[in-house]
Every structure is written in structure tokens, then in C-alpha cells.
Amino acid sequence: MVERTAAAEPVVRIEGLTFRYRRATEPAIRDISLTIDPGEVLLVAGPSGCGKSTLIRAINGLIPHAYPGDLAGSVMVGGRSTSEWRLRDLAGIVGTVLQDPAKQIVGATVEAELAFGPENLGLERVEIRRRIGEVAERAGIRGLLGRETAALSGGERQLLAMGGILMLRPRLYVVDEPLANLDPASAARLLGILRDLADEGHAIVIVEHRVEEALDLRPDRVLYLEEGRTRYLGDTAGFLAVADPDAVKLPFDAVLARFRADPALMGATRQPGRHGQGPAPPDEQPRLEFRGVRAGFGDREVLHGIDARLGRREIVAVLGPNGSGKTTLFRTAMRLLAPTAGEIRVDGAPAFERSVAELATTFGYVFQSPSQMLFARTVREELTFGPRNLGRDAASFDFIVSDALRRTSLDGLDGILDRPPLTLSFGQQKRLALAIALSLQPPTLILDEPSAGQDHRTARRFMQEVLAIPGLESIFLVTHDVDLALTHADRILLFRDGRVVADGPPALVVEDLDRWIGCNLRPTSLMRANARWRPADAGFLDAQMLAAHVLTGTAAAESHGEGGLTVGTG
């Protein structure tokens, strides 16, 4: 932990910062004051829309240089106001890793991407090559060298984006939800890099919804924002005592402590229902079937003979390491990538007999990077594009649009239908991509990292709304959010190195901890708590429901040991 002294000059000093975007009616942040010292780790947390991204833009100079609006107060970086810096020069002090790495990566190859920043700063080629070797080792991406960036998985791109900032050696690293696309092992590696940088004297600002994992970074202070204001600024213990467990995903022990301190919180808990009906009978025709499927990019094979049946009425979560083939699996199903061998069948018929547009009427596919789905001038045009091209009745468009916005919690945003999609925040773009998929009213949803960019409350609400959609039969998830998968899925497909290494009910799949950890997954505090306290005849309970169960007094009698897991905050 950093020791702040009066003599230390802060890297960042913010005083009375208030900012309102030009077209907004209310400020995004109000009266924020704080300092960030060399060697300090500051975790910024809070519900979606609380001002976290706006604060980052103020620190890295995008406000006021790229985002016009009404600015009050001051932001000093390196002893100088951000309004006096040129963005090019400020980038040498503040390095930013964006939520969506697809927006940050510009190089065609991994080496070109790593070299891009230093080349623009005029560094010598010998020095750039030396840094590439050093950064590739430090970021754990040596195995990516020589590959094209377009063929990388979302998690691999996230690590590469971090590598690109490491190449510049800034004094302050600002990372915006870096864990969303990373498997737990890769997330731990990234957090270890940030911790080492802080120990070397660099300042770190990390914005993260996955608070339980972010706490492994041992932040010196936590800034907790609500509605653009500072709700709390202090140590971790104080943050855990005031954070809203419905809005922020806290370690289970912290949720339990909050419920114990305020029993009224238990009255608002509701376990997300399961939409599916459990694993499909062996003789039932599956919605999606893979028979010996192989696929890859160029000479690199990613899927090595996949055999899997995904039922018509079940929720299936696909888990595994970054780059293990999870997204590639569904890209082949949607004919966005041609398999090199094997067969894919949809509702019993070969997938190649249908066009991509026809497949979209069966599968509502939401990409990991929402910007890849957005192209229209307004949100309204995005939502009506699919129904219009499928020849749906124009009289139904208003209902389709309003229903999709409501189910994705976008209906409360002022003027949302007339806004250009790419002006929305990453989390809002993610929800819009989901709304676009819902607008086609498909019987099956394929969701790639659905909780990325969403706070705990929004992710839970979205899942509840999706599960209640009339006519929706099945959901296939690709996710690194282990708790989301365990509390919703009927089945888990566990991937490693392009192969399915486990397929079964969540409670059965997690029993083999060696295999679980070998797939770059880790036992979460909620897994440990469920192993100890959940009713034997129940599925996995989310943190709120399990805490309520424990505190009602029934859990003590039902506790069935630790089942190979130990309860803790890890």
C-alpha cells in the first residue's frame, strides 16, 4: 500500500469537478474532488450511469478536448490543467485502456499494434523492438506475437490493449473495466501487472464492476459514485460497509454482513428464475448440434472436433479460457465463419442450407463487442432495421421497439430513439445490441459476454426480463462471469484448447476443482458459500438469495459441509 505524505506531489488533483455533456439536461458528475498519488491504486465503483466513464475522460483529457459541454472545477495532471495539455502530450503521462478493446486496437498484427504508440512518439526502432519483447513477456502475450489482431479473442485483445499502454510507460494507468472480457486466470495476471506497476511507483485508476476480483489488487482507496456524486471515498472496509449489494457485485461475506446489519434488504431479494427445463432428453431434436466441427483462422485451428448438442428449451453456459474457442463455436453456427470439417445442424437441418439472415430469425446473436453490430444513424433505425428487412408489419414496429427497450432497461434514457448509437456508453451499446436481437423475436438467444459493461443490478434485471419473454425457448451464453453462469444455466459446457472437457449440470461440473482451475476458472466466494449452505435440492442461489437463506435460520440446519470448497472472500 502507498504511504501518502504531504511532500508527495499528486499525479492527479481534481477539485470541485462538475461536467454536463452538451446535449444532456443534467450533469454526469457533480462536485468531485480527489487526488491520486504516485504508487496509489484507486478503485472506482458504482452503478451504471453513475459517472465513472465521465471521470476517466476528465482525467485523460478527452474532457474537455473531445467531449464538449459545461465544465466547472479543475483537473490537474502532472501539475498542469488538462485544458492546457495537448492530448498527444498528455498520453505520455496518462495511459488509458478502454472498455471495448475493439475501439482501441488499430494495428493489423500484434507487433504492429504494440509498436503503434512508440512509433508515433518517435522512438528508435531498436528501442521499440526491445520494448515489444519486454512487454510481451510482462503482459503474458508472447504467444500472440505473429498473429493478426482480427483473429484474436476478446480477452486476447484486452491483454493486447494493456500491452499497448505498457509500451508507452505512462505515470498513470487508467483501466476501464479491464476484467469484463478476461477469464479469471487472465484477470489475475492483469491485476498482478497493475499491482507491480503500483509498487514501482505508478498510479493506477481502475473502474470495475467485478469488484470481488478487483479487490485482489489491494486498492489503497475506493471511490464509490452514485448519480454522479461521491458517496464514499476511503478504504476498502468502509466501501464494503456502504456499497449497495444490489447495484455492486460484492464478495459473499460482504453481502452477508450487509444483510445482517440491515435485515430490511432481504425483503427486496428475488432469485432469477430459470427459463429452461433442464438438460434435454437424449432423443429430443436439439436446437443446435455440432458434429465433429473443426474451424480456425488461416493455418491456426481453434476448434478441434467439437461434438455438442444444445437443446431447444434449456440455458447453456459456455465457459473456459480466453482463446479456447467459445466465441468461434457460435460464429460457425451463424455462418460467420466456415468450419473446415464436421457438420452443424439447426433444428435437425444442415445450417449451411440457411442464409445468415434466415439464421437470425432463429438465433438472436449478440456480439462480444457491441460496436460491431451498430451502423445506423439512430437507435430507432437500428431497432427497426431487422424487422423491416424481414418484411414484418410496419404497424408492429412501435411495439417491437418499446418492448425491446424496456426489456434492456434503455427506455428510461431521454431521447434514446433519436441518438446516434455510437454516442452511447459501452454498457448502453451492449444493451442496445441485446435490444436489436430481441427486436427480431427469435426463439433462441446467443449472448456473448452479456454482463460486460453492466452493473450487478442491470445484469440481474436483464436476465429476469429475458427469462420472462414470451416465445423465447432457449439461451446460450458465452461468459467469464462464473456466478452468472452457475445461477442461471441448466448446463455448463467447459472448454479448453478448442475442446469440450466437461458437459453437465453446474453442480456436477464444479465438483472437479482441478479441472475447473485447469480451465482458467477459480472458485468464487459465492461458489464456496453455495457449497456450504444452499439447500441440497436447490440449484445455485445468487448472493442475495443465499444470504437471506442463511440469515433466516434455515441454513444452519441444512448446512451440508463445504463439499470440497471453503467459504471465504477470495
Span 306-352, pLDDT tens digits: 999 999 999 999 999 988 999 999 999 999 999 999 999 999 999 99
**116 and 262 co-located in one domain:** no
pLDDT at residue 443 is higher than 80: yes
**255 and 153 co-located in one domain:** no
| CA separation for the pair 268, 65 (Å, rounded) | 43
Which of 198, 215, 250 is a domain's end point?
250
pLDDT band (50, 70, 90) for residue 12: very high
| CA separation for the pair 559, 570 (Å, rounded) | 20
pLDDT at residue 418 is higher than 60: yes
Question: Region 136-158: what's the mean pLDDT?
Answer: 90
pLDDT band (50, 70, 90) for residue 17: very high
Structural domain count, the chain? 2
Tell me, yes or no, whether 504 lies in a domain.
Answer: no
Give how far Cα 348 sits from Cα of 82, 286, 290, 333, 363, Å. 60, 7, 11, 13, 15
**134 and 51 co-located in one domain:** yes
- Which structural domain range is residue 554 located in? 251-267+523-570
What proportion of the chain, given as a percentage, has pLDDT over 70?
Answer: 92
pLDDT at residue 568 is higher than 60: no
**175 and 263 co-located in one domain:** no
Tell me, yes or no, whether 478 lies in a domain.
Answer: no
Tell me, yes or no, whether 226 lies in a domain.
Answer: yes
**142 and 259 co-located in one domain:** no
What pLDDT score does 565 carry? Answer: 43
Tell me, yes or no, whether 457 lies in a domain.
Answer: no
Tell me, yes or no, whether 341 lies in a domain.
Answer: no
What proportion of the chain, given as a percentage, has pLDDT over 90?
Answer: 54
Question: Region 75-82: what's the mean pLDDT?
Answer: 94
**166 and 262 co-located in one domain:** no
Per-residue pLDDT tens for 372-392?
788 888 999 999 998 888 888
**121 and 259 co-located in one domain:** no
Question: Between 427 and 175, whose confidence is greater?
Answer: 175
**229 and 262 co-located in one domain:** no
Cell of 3: 504511504
Q: Return the closest-CA partner of residue 506 out of 496, 516, 491.
A: 491
Residue 386 sits at φ, ψ, to 5 deg, of -65, -55
**258 and 171 co-located in one domain:** no
Lowest mean pLDDT among 170-179, 200-209, 539-548: 539-548
Question: Region 196-208: what's the mean pLDDT?
Answer: 95
**56 and 119 co-located in one domain:** yes
CATH number at residue 84: 3.40.50.300
Question: Region 252-265: what's the mean pLDDT?
Answer: 87
pLDDT at residue 496 is higher than 90: yes
Tell me, yes or no, whether 365 lies in a domain.
Answer: no
Tell me, yes or no, whether 482 lies in a domain.
Answer: no
Which of 217, 250, 283 is a domain's end point?
250
**36 and 24 co-located in one domain:** yes
| CA separation for the pair 219, 201 (Å, rounded) | 14
Cβ neighbours of 422 (radius 10 Å): 12
**209 and 256 co-located in one domain:** no
Burial of 442 (0-12, 13-18, 19+ CB in 10 A): buried
Report the mean per-residue pLDDT for the chain. 87
pLDDT at residue 2 is higher than 60: no
Cell of 9: 506531489
Tell me, yes or no, whether 546 lies in a domain.
Answer: yes
Q: Which residues, 6+ apart, have CB-to-CB distance to 382 below 8 Å?
A: 374, 375, 376, 421, 432, 436
